Amino acid sequence: MTTPRLPERLLALTPGRTRDADGAARLARSVGAACEAGLRSVLIREPLLGDGDLLVLARRLVDLARTLPGLWIGVHDRVHVALAAGAHGVHVGHRSLTVREARGVAGEGLCLGFSAHEHDAPSLREGADYLIFGPLHDTPSKRGLLPPTGHEALARCAGSFHGPVWAIGGLRLGRVRGAREAGAFGVAVLSDLLGAPDPVERARAWCEEPACRG
């Protein structure tokens, strides 16, 4: 049985604002440049894109992985697109298929992640290869929806799950070590990386952070 390959400690999420094929082409160039600068794990999360445009985007980045050894490309929510693109992983959340349902479609060879929150039933996470847990800190996208968990909840999640956990939510360079010390294997970053005005510069800065490597 093939063991799914997990993301690296630094996992970048795409901004989620792309609406059409032209925007997807621009995003592919931007993400590609960040990967050329050292980024090695990307989760494509573009809920506004149709399946066809998302597939083109995912295939472009998977093709890039053939020239950049170690590059990991995942697709959020849409298992069928991840499979059609030849992606390395798929990530599901509370509005997606369940982990069990996604595994039934994806099989054992595709890395399967799950978005976990503090008060989830543990059974929701069963069968996932990894978790993204948060929001660790205050973040605009979750303000009014989910309160920051803090490090204690992260530590409980990391201690009770069988696989690695990535922390998400308000992550900045100065906060990585605290997340790692609380038990996170790595960090998942959106606004301060691929969502930043200069993703290439931010990719270089994040890739130089020792807590994202060791």
For the stretch 1-11, pLDDT in tens is: 567 999 999 99
Mean pLDDT, range 154-176, rounded to an integer: 97
Largest CA distance in the chain: 43
- For the segment 65-86, the average pLDDT, to the nearest whole number, is 96
Q: At CA 89, angle to CA 37 and CA 77, rounded to 5? A: 105
Instruction: For residue 171, give both structure tokens.
Output: 């992550």
Q: Domain count for the chain, please give it.
A: 1
Q: Does residue 144 have a pLDDT over 70?
A: no
- Whether residue 193 lies inside any domain: the answer is yes
Amino acid letter, 207: C
Q: Token pair 């390395």 is at which residue?
A: 88
Q: What percent of the chain has pLDDT over 90?
A: 90
Full DSSP string of 153-199: HHHHHHHHSSS-EEEESS--GGGHHHHHHTT-SEEEESTTTTTSS-H
Per the domain annotation, does 28 fall within a domain? yes
Q: Is 4 a domain residue?
A: no
Gap between the Cα atoms of 52 and 64, Å rounded: 19
Q: Report, in angstroms and rounded to the nearest whole number, the Rg of the chain calculated over CA atoms.
A: 16
In a domain, 1, yes or no: no
What pTM did the predictor assign? 0.96
Structural domain contains residue 2: no
CATH of the domain at 73: 3.20.20.70
- pLDDT on residue 1: 57
* Alpha carbon distance 45, 50 (integer Å): 12
Helix or strand run (H / E) with residue 100: helix 99-106
> The domain containing residue 164 runs over which residues?
10-212
